[in-house]
Amino acid sequence: MKQGGCKGHENSSAKSFIGKDTKAKSVRQWVFQVEAYFESQVINMNIDQLKLAQSLLKDHVLEWWMAQKDAKPNLMGSLPWSTFKAKLNERFTPHN
């Protein structure tokens, strides 16, 4: 059985997130896919989950996350996955 870790995710079913789709389902679907990958690979450590998720961010979503980390480097490096998801949803889910 695999122990937690991010190695080998290059060939995963987890896809990059670019956030161009302005529909709420875009964030929700990406999170679902990433969490399914965490489960299939037994990645249950917050730090490993965050590292993998960061590696899948692209374009303006990556720029947004880099700005978040620059503003609070100590906090963002140890962020729980649940808090990262909440921040991602807050920023990239359209509000009606």
**Per-residue pLDDT in tens (0 to 9) along the chain, 96 residues:** 333 344 444 445 666 666 665 555 688 889 999 999 999 999 888 889 998 999 999 998 999 999 998 998 887 778 899 999 999 999 988 776
Tokens matching residue 22: 């302005």
pLDDT digits (tens, 9 = 90+) for 81-93: 999 999 999 998 8
For residues 56 and 62, give the distance between their C-alpha atoms in angstroms, rounded to a whole number.
9
**Quick check: helix, strand or coil at residue 4?**
coil
Three-state SS for 48-94 is HHHHHHHHCECHHHHHHHHHHHHHCHHHHCCCCHHHHHHHHHHHHCC
